Amino acid sequence: MKCSPAPLCALVLLSLPVGTTSCRRAGSENDGKAAVLALTDAPAVPAPVTRRSPRLDIVELEVREQVMSLASGVAYTFWTFGGHVPGKFIRVVQGDTVELHLKNDAGNKLPHAIDLHAVTGPGGGAMSSFVAPGQESQFTFKALNPGLYVYHCGTPPVGMHVANGMYGLILVEPPGGLPRVDREYYVMQGDFYTVGPHGQPGLQAFDEEKAVDEKPTYVVFNGAEGALMDDRALIAEVGETVRLYVGNGGPNLTSSFHVIGAIFDRVYPEGGSRLQENVQTTSIPPGGAAIVELKVQVPGTYALVDHALFRAFNKGALGQLKVFGPPAPGIYSGPQEPRSRTALGGRP
């Protein structure tokens, strides 16, 4: 066995399960034995995997309760997996064994847990991972089924923990990985419930009655109004194929996910294995996900929306995909000077 750097290897061996003899190397996918996964914050996605052989993946998540921006001038106390909403993106391969470590920051007020929909086992890991502030829990599961799965907090009241932002995605790729694309992004919708009305500035408290009534104040992508707008928009170049890993944390609303001016060439509905083609709007339930792919062919700005449109234009479920490159007038002209029917050879 060869390890580098040596101090890391020594540290790693101390904490590996019995029978494991490999080093833990952050982000490495080539030794086929074990690695600490490199996790990403949305909209970034970890690098694609090409492995065909399973290994041990060590996932380290830390719960943080922290005040962040929900909208311009609006603050909210989010509960997070890793300091952002949605939580860190986890990428493994079918057949991998995942050793999940959940730390609950000592500065937090509440216990938390994680229920991953990629787990086959009671509670999706929620009871095994229940952890008090300042403590760490651990459990291990085998990623039996490929697909795109939601994870979320499993501590009662679960609805409230999820409403405060405790959700993310785990992708279980088939051996060898998904077909290659040019760009991949991580987008996750969630609905939020504040005591103050939409746009009221200042620190806003959670409104349980609105949550129970399923009347959100905000519906957003990636944890905040404007998280995917302007200089934070997703980007691509003409001719590229873009894959979006789209999740819905809810806790209540089903998303009618749509990109205005684009057609999804391929969708894996519900994050499953079957392909659907040529889709305008895909339905993503709370606790569900979809993989959507589109080849961008005309430059410009495309709006990502929940096509329940008052959510998009009045509650925040609006993002942007900016496509750069040469015009493609054969596909889309842009504004034209109207021609008369006479000029077209028709009768006036």
* Contact set with Cu ion (CB under 5 A): 112, 153, 155, 161, 166
CB of 112 to Cu ion, least distance (A): 3
Contact (CB, 8 A) for 47 and 58: no
CB of 161 to Cu ion, least distance (A): 3
Rounded distance between C-alpha atoms, residue 318 and residue 303, angstroms? 7
CB of 153 to Cu ion, least distance (A): 3
Secondary structure letter of residue 124 according to DSSP: G
CB of 81 to Cu ion, least distance (A): 9
Q: Which is nearer to Cu ion, 90 or 153 (CB)?
A: 153
Q: Which is nearer to Cu ion, 103 or 161 (CB)?
A: 161
If phi > 0 it is left, if psi is from -120 to 50 it is alpha, else beta; for residue 118 that is alpha
- For the purposes of burial, counting CB atoms within 10 Å of the CB of 344, is it exposed (0-12), middle (13-18) or buried (19 or more)? exposed
CB of 235 to Cu ion, least distance (A): 33
Q: Which is nearer to Cu ion, 112 or 210 (CB)?
A: 112
Q: Closest-CB residue for Cu ion? A: 153
Secondary structure letter of residue 210 according to DSSP: H
Which among 38, 39, 3, 44 is positioned nearest to 20, based on CA atoms? 3
Q: Which is nearer to Cu ion, 153 or 292 (CB)?
A: 153
Reduced to 3 states, what is the DSSP secondary structure of residue 102? strand
How far from the centroid of its chain's Cα atoms is residue 208's Cα? Answer: 25
Which among 250, 294, 287, 251 is positioned nearest to 270, based on CA atoms? 287
Q: Which is nearer to Cu ion, 20 or 66 (CB)?
A: 66
Q: Which is nearer to Cu ion, 117 or 161 (CB)?
A: 161
CB of 120 to Cu ion, least distance (A): 22
